[in-house]
């Protein structure tokens, strides 16, 4: 595996740890509040690069930021009602969505990519399906997966046009601005702002710091850098490792179940990733 694939695997590992953190945070905060606060923290960290970014980076950053903001808010909303394992499974349906949506953007569709994507989704299903259905939360999470699939496609198409720090910084600032506006609109006519301070404890604050500074600012920079050299289809398959890592962290951190079936599913996902990468190496 080359360095760019390994970088995206590391990004996926860090993202896997966000599911239990989000699960804890959404016990007290809404999905919009969690997303807005994490993005504001990330924007403060990335502001020096954002201020030096060219106008084109701001334009592409706005499109990418809107897509990923929608995806994160939908995911955080769903986590208020379903387990982190189930959320990870539904989120990772973007593994199939990316190559299928890629057809609309004129991309070719390899049978190997389809086989690897189907294997990955089958493995995720074995690993994560827990039967704890909630129609609204499930639908929101699937919508978030669709938004993220579009994000992966657009990022692969536009990352090569910009310096990685500039693109990551601009989209994070846009996410903070749009997320804050969304939080303000959501709080109108309620007491959410008055009670926000009381709902923030030390555990949630540390979680928000991790989500904002590490999982958002740090990982979007690495993602923007690595995806200049990795196709959208391949990147989506690498991101299929996210529920594997999420299940491990949820088992260790939240004591959510990790059965033999879940372990088998994780092994299938790993095989799908290796199968996809083997194709590239053989070429």
**262-270: average pLDDT:** 73
The pLDDT value recorded for residue 273 is: 63
pLDDT tens digits, residue range 155-192? 888 888 888 888 889 999 999 999 999 899 888 888 88
Centre a 10 Å sphere on the Cβ of residue 76 and count the other Cβ atoms it contains. 27
Instruction: Write the pLDDT tens digit of every residue in 185-240.
Output: 888 888 888 888 888 889 899 999 999 999 988 888 888 888 888 877 778 778 87
109, 99 contact by CB (below 8 A) = yes
Please check the confidence at residue 132 and state whether its pLDDT lies above 70.
Answer: no
56: which 2 tokens? Answer: 């084109």
Residue 12 and residue 120: Cα distance in Å, rounded?
Answer: 14
Confidence of residue 109 (pLDDT cuts 50, 70, 90): low
Predicted confidence at residue 173, as pLDDT, reads 94
CA distance 202 to 47: 25
Can you give the pTM of this predicted structure?
A: 0.73
Question: Exposure string (b/e) for 115-140, b if CB count within 10 Å is 16 or more?
Answer: ebbebbbebbbbbbbeeeeeeebbeb
pLDDT band at 282 (very low <50, low <70, confident <90, very high): very low
Average pLDDT over residues 73-93: 79
């Amino acid at each position: 595996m080359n360095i760019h694939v390994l970088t995206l695997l590391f990004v996926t590992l860090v993202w896997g740890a966000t599911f239990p953190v989000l699960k804890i945070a959404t016990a007290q905060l809404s999905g919009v509040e969690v997303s807005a606060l994490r993005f504001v923290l990330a924007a403060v960290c990335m502001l020096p690069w954002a201020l030096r970014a060219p106008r084109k980076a701001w334009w592409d950053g706005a499109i990418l930021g809107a897509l990923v903001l929608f995806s994160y808010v939908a995911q955080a909303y769903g986590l208020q009602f379903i387990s982190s394992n189930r959320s990870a499974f539904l989120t990772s349906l973007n593994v199939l969505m990316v190559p299928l949506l890629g057809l609309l953007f004129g991309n070719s569709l390899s049978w190997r990519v389809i086989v690897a994507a189907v294997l990955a989704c089958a493995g995720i299903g074995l690993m994560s399906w827990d039967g704890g259905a909630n129609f609204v939360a499930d639908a929101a999470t699937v919508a978030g997966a669709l938004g993220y699939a579009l994000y992966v496609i657009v990022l692969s198409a536009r990352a090569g046009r910009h310096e990685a720090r500039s693109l990551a910084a601009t989209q994070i600032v846009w996410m903070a601005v749009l997320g804050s506006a969304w939080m303000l609109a959501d709080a109108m006519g309620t007491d959410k702002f008055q009670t926000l301070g009381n709902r923030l404890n030390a555990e949630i604050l540390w979680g928000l710091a991790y989500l904002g500074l590490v999982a958002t600012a740090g990982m979007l920079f690495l993602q923007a850098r690595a995806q200049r050299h990795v196709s959208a289809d391949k990147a989506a398959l690498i991101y299929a490792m996210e529920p594997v890592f999420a299940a491990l962290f949820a088992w260790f951190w939240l004591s959510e179940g990790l059965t033999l079936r879940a372990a088998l599913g994780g092994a299938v996902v790993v095989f799908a990733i290796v199968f996809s990468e083997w194709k590239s190496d053989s070429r």
